[in-house]
């Protein structure tokens, strides 16, 4: 059977877009599927957020996977009497458990678990009236429309000096990372952003000795890009800029990379002041493995003896999708900017049959594209693209 919609990627983006297509664009359930290798939808999101030990999201409560703006707040109303700490100031940031419970609610509302094909897409080919997608088990799916909602979470960034084969070195976003210390240890965390900060705070809470190595000093920003990017003004300026290389520059400059919000910065400063956290501003040059642990040589001429190293260095910046997307680009001559990312139209179409979301939509949606806000924006654009034009919301 040919589907109307096939979504590759069942993360934050794929799940929200599925809900929007079913709930807002009246796509029949039996005409849509989501392919994702995870044991359940949103598995990567759950693994990554659990690994760092964050209690609340960085984004506010209006950023969620439901259809309506206030859906998460309304959902929380049912729990308010039972659980304190559902939202953290400022900006009503939802707790991770509330956010995840609401994700479950969205999944259940639209029966998304039943639409999940647990597999990996390995090849996409454009046909006359749609797209054919081959799965890892050789099965083929056909759909009139394809959404590439492939995030970056499968490509954790490993610095050159960090050997993947060393049993004492782990990346916190590596799937099934088993690098968390089970007894009190001295741990070096590498990274300068919010994930590294959360990992440090979790380790300190559990009683470990912690060294943090960051290329830069503490950078404090409430959000990972200026909230102006959520409004119409920056959006309009961005869409007026037609040159994809200029857009890439804007995106790079707009992202507050390696930053932490004020409350997390306060906790780190407190830990430093109390001598619980050793902060090293520099870069690791080399790891020397000994029988009794590791010596990390930092370019500040310091050698730090530790039991293990946890990398919280985020995700590689290369275009996600690997060979499957490379081949698709070649076979269909899909346009890309110099940075390798798709050049798509304002409705997020890379091809009349192929839509993108997340990092792949960055040159159209701007700095918020990878975030939950970006998933919502992608949902708006895709739904507007397929709605009869007379019914488009103003």
Contact positions toward ligand FAD, by CB under 6 A? 8-14, 35-38, 44-45, 48-49, 52, 57-59, 63, 120-121, 149-154, 195, 324, 358, 370-373
Smallest distance, ligand FAD to C-beta of residue 383, A: 17
Residue with smaller CB distance to ligand FAD, 193 or 244: 193
- Six-digit token string for 157: 């960034």
Contact present, 60 and 38 (Cβ < 8 Å): no
d(C-alpha 355, C-alpha 166), whole Å: 40
Q: What is the DSSP letter of 157?
A: P
Q: Is 236 left (phi over 0), alpha (psi -120 to 50) or beta?
A: alpha
Q: Which residue has the closest beta carbon to ligand FAD?
A: 151
Query: Nearer to ligand FAD by C-beta: 57 or 287?
Result: 57
- Please state the closest distance from residue 342 (CB atom) to ligand FAD, in A: 14
Residue placing its CB nearer to ligand FAD in the complex, 287 or 344: 344
For residue 43, the minimal CB distance to ligand FAD (Å) is: 6
CB atoms within 10 A of CB 33: 21
The vertex-393 CA angle with 387 and 394, nearest 5°, equals: 140
Q: Which residues contact 250 (CB under 8 A, 6 or more apart)?
A: 238, 241, 366, 367
Q: CA-CA distance, 189 to 170, in Å (whole number)?
A: 10
How far is 389 from 241, CA to CA, in rounded Å?
Answer: 25
Read off φ and ψ for residue 119, nearest 5 degrees: -170, 175
In the bound complex, what is the minimum distance in angstroms from residue 285's beta carbon to ligand FAD? Answer: 27
Q: How far is the CB of 282 from ligand FAD (least distance, A)?
A: 24
Output 120 or 235, the one with its CB closest to ligand FAD. Answer: 120
Nearest approach, Cβ of residue 15 and ligand FAD (Å): 7
| Closer residue to ligand FAD in complex, CB, 10/244 | 10
State how far the Cα of 85 lies from the Cα of 33, in Å rounded to an integer: 35
Closer to ligand FAD by Cβ: residue 323 or 338: 323
């Amino acid at each position: 059977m040919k589907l109307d919609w096939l979504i590759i990627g069942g993360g934050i983006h794929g799940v929200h877009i599925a809900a929007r297509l079913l709930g807002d664009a009246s796509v029949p359930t039996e005409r849509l599927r989501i392919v994702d290798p995870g044991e359940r939808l949103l598995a990567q999101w759950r693994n990554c957020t659990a690994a760092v030990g964050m209690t609340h999201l960085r984004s506010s409560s209006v950023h969620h996977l439901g259809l309506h703006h206030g859906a998460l707040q309304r959902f929380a109303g049912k729990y308010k009497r039972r659980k304190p700490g559902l939202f953290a100031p400022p900006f009503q940031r939802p707790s991770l458990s509330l956010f995840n419970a609401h994700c479950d609610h969205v999944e259940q509302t639209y029966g998304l678990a039943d639409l999940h094909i647990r597999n990996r897409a390995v090849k996409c080919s454009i046909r006359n009236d749609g797209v054919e997608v081959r799965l890892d088990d050789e099965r083929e799916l056909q759909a009139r429309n394809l959404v590439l909602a492939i995030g970056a979470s499968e490509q954790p960034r490993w610095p050159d000096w960090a050997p993947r084969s060393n049993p004492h070195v782990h990346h916190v976003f590596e799937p099934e990372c088993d690098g968390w210390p089970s007894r009190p240890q001295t741990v070096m965390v590498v990274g300068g952003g919010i994930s590294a900060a959360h990992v440090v705070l979790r380790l300190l809470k559990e009683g470990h000795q912690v060294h943090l190595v960051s290329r830069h000093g503490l950078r404090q920003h409430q959000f990972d890009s200026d909230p102006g990017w959520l409004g119409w003004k920056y959006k309009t300026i961005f869409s007026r800029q037609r040159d994809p290389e200029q857009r890439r520059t804007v995106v790079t400059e707009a992202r507050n990379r390696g930053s932490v919000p004020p409350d997390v910065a306060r906790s780190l400063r407190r830990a430093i002041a109390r001598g619980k956290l050793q902060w090293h501003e520099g870069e690791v040059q080399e790891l020397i493995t000994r029988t009794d642990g590791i010596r990390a040589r930092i370019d500040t001429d310091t050698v730090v003896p530790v039991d293990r190293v946890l990398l919280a260095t985020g995700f590689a910046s290369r275009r996600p999708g690997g060979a499957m997307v490379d081949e698709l680009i070649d076979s269909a001559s899909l346009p890309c900017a110099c940075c390798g990312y798709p050049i798509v139209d304002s409705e997020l179409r890379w091809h009349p049959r192929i839509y993108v979301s997340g990092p792949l939509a960055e040159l159209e949606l701007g700095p918020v594209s990878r975030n939950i806000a970006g998933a919502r924006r992608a949902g708006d654009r895709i739904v507007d693209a397929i709605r009869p034009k007379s019914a488009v919301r103003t």
